[in-house]
Structure 1
């Protein structure tokens, strides 16, 4: 009996049912009832109005996490298009900009000129969108700019001052206070200038500049323009600015001591959170054998000097960088053309500083 029943059940799978007029066919076992009606359909984390990858946050900002990952794409065209997309969809939430700068700033050293131009445009847009953003992330941006100024590829070196100009325009005081000495030193290396009159150092600078390709005439013009802007921002008070000490003195003569500083890192010269290497004994012995200190700075003192205040920056430039700068600028003025014109404007800034220092001594 059991075997006959099994055979009959197997035959049912291959028997075609006879359909009769007026009778509905039997529904299959896996039938799903779809007769219900719903007014709305809720799809979490999705949007029917926009394609995938454009989900919005609570503030209406586009989610850029996927596009930020594409900044490391192997194709330069993709990287350039991604930067343009990020610039067009900059968020309103300030907390997102840390991730944006972390992904974008390394592209300062990108070998594609189009990508570097897109980074310049994006950084300018970020600086306009969020005031004070570059001041907070100054350390990271400056390190990549210095790396670009000393890069082995001439094209990257030529574009390095484009990024420095953004910092000077939007965070000039922060750059001057924290990175004045290093920036001036990198300008000397970028323009193949020497800080000493040593013939060996001069020949080494010329040989290095020629071996690395040197700077084009157009690039040197822009380097001098940015150098002039940096000197003006570092050595002179900004126009229209109100001194905090003078403003606080209107209330009380000692009020400025108890006010919060406007600088992003006012205690950075104390090196509270950084590890510094001790000075070697040979350097200490050489400094001790120099005799009486006349109050002037030297190249050996630059590593231990803070450039937070204006007077110190002026004294550093006057004691260390003034004569070498004049010497190299005069050689550029002799070339004539736009290079000589911009070199003359840089020299005018130095002469203005020299005149003000002479008046202050009198």
Structure 2
């Protein structure tokens, strides 16, 4: 019985109100934590200290991290660089040329977030500083467009659109930036030009055309490729802006040295260079001429096949067809004086 009375007394003790006495402190709880201490030192962030790294050094450090083996570290480094370039004024202590030299190989990076962050960074670069490097940029874009990975190919189209928006006519008028990209587009689309057709079908079309029926994962790549090709051709077929003519220009053309290579190439006095793919096609007529000779038949056949497919591919093919009509509608094939078939006609060799 004694133990039972003891338990009852302990239970009553839990519900009893403690009697507080004047001058006596309240008892502390069992889980009380003492927070009355004071700090003797203030810890500042590194950027607030006097010996913090210089912003230029931090920029160069993050630029070096773009070659890291970690995907996350490369992405974060690109994000930091993009943030510095987006400020007003932008922070770029190494210059656009050095920046492109380090970042262009990352276009074909195996990580999708890294490629996406790289595209955001490229959009912050000044257009005037990008145009002198069009030929170098196009080399990496072409390598990305013909990559074995479909995801990398799709990002290559994004890079191509960015370059067309930034450099515009400078893209199609640079050395090797007209025929070679067109060949890559033909290869990606499956519209390979035949060298020596042996059948009676329309020349320029392969025996295995590209279709997207049943393509669940990459069905949208084919229409997008045609849309980017349309944008590329639209830029190449864009008419030049006419410049006003004054009487002084006539004397300047006679007495001044031409500032462009091969200024009399339009006369056809000499044979064209052997490397037709890497030639510079400065004016619209030259681009139309080589396009008609090497790519027109293949693209027309491919557009017809895509229209029959319908859907998104059919709409993209209709856009490409309209670009062809607008760009090649006024094309007139001119015979050059250096054509072997006409130059020596009537002569006995």
Number of the residue aligned with 1:119: 118
Which of residues 206, 219, 222 is equivalent to 1:220?
A: 222
Q: Is the 8 A contact 1:67 1:86 kept in 2?
A: yes
Aligned length: 269
Number of the residue aligned with 1:82: 77
Number of the residue aligned with 1:35: none
Question: Which ranges in structure 2 are unaligned for 5 or more consecutive residues?
Answer: 1-45, 336-349
RMSD: 3.7
Pairs within 5 Å for 1:25-44 = none
Number of the residue aligned with 2:29: none
Q: If each structure's helix is expressed as a fraction of its own residues, which one has the higher value? A: 1
Number of the residue aligned with 2:62: 67
How many angstroms apart in 2 are the aligned matches of 1:64 and 1:349? 43
Residue deviations 1:144-182 (CA, integer Å, cap 9, x gap): 111111212222112211101111111121210121111
How many angstroms apart in 2 are the aligned matches of 1:248 and 1:342? 40
How many angstroms apart in 1 are the aligned matches of 2:72 and 2:123? 21
Number of the residue aligned with 1:356: 330
Structure 2 CA distance for partners of 1:73 and 1:198, relative to 1, 3 Å: farther
How many angstroms apart in 2 are the aligned matches of 1:358 and 1:221? 30
Number of the residue aligned with 2:287: 313
Structure 2 CA distance for partners of 1:324 and 1:51, relative to 1, 3 Å: farther
How many angstroms apart in 1 are the aligned matches of 2:232 and 2:51? 45
Number of the residue aligned with 1:144: 140
Structure 2 CA distance for partners of 1:248 and 1:106, relative to 1, 3 Å: farther
* Alignment TM-score, normalising by the size of structure 2: 0.66
Structure 2 CA distance for partners of 1:63 and 1:301, relative to 1, 3 Å: closer
Residue deviations 1:224-268 (CA, integer Å, cap 9, x gap): 121111111111126xxx43xx2353753344675996xxxx54x
Structure 2 CA distance for partners of 1:51 and 1:330, relative to 1, 3 Å: farther
Number of the residue aligned with 1:7: none
Which of residues 226, 232, 235 is equivalent to 2:234?
A: 232
- 1:165 aligns to 2:164 (yes or no): no
Which of residues 179, 182, 193 is equivalent to 1:181?
A: 179
How many angstroms apart in 1 are the aligned matches of 2:331 and 2:98? 44
* Alignment TM-score, normalising by the size of structure 1: 0.64
How many angstroms apart in 1 are the aligned matches of 2:93 and 2:248? 35
How many angstroms apart in 2 are the aligned matches of 1:214 and 1:177? 38
SS of 1:85's equivalent? helix
Residue deviations 1:66-88 (CA, integer Å, cap 9, x gap): 00110011111111111111011
Which of residues 152, 156, 160 is equivalent to 2:152?
A: 156
Number of the residue aligned with 1:32: none
- Cα distance, 1:331 vs. partner? 0.6
Question: Which ranges in structure 1 are unaligned for 5 or more consecutive residues?
Answer: 1-45, 271-292
- 1:249 aligns to 2:246 (yes or no): yes
- Cα distance, 1:140 vs. partner? 2.0
How many angstroms apart in 2 are the aligned matches of 1:51 and 1:193? 61
Q: Is the 8 A contact 1:228 1:346 kept in 2?
A: yes
How many angstroms apart in 2 are the aligned matches of 1:121 and 1:198? 47
- Cα distance, 1:202 vs. partner? 3.0
Pairs within 5 Å for 1:43-54 = 48-49=48-49, 52-53=52-53
Q: Is the 8 A contact 1:249 1:255 kept in 2?
A: no
SS of 2:69's equivalent? coil
How many angstroms apart in 1 are the aligned matches of 2:198 and 2:248? 54
How many angstroms apart in 2 are the aligned matches of 1:92 and 1:144? 25
How many angstroms apart in 2 are the aligned matches of 1:314 and 1:215? 35
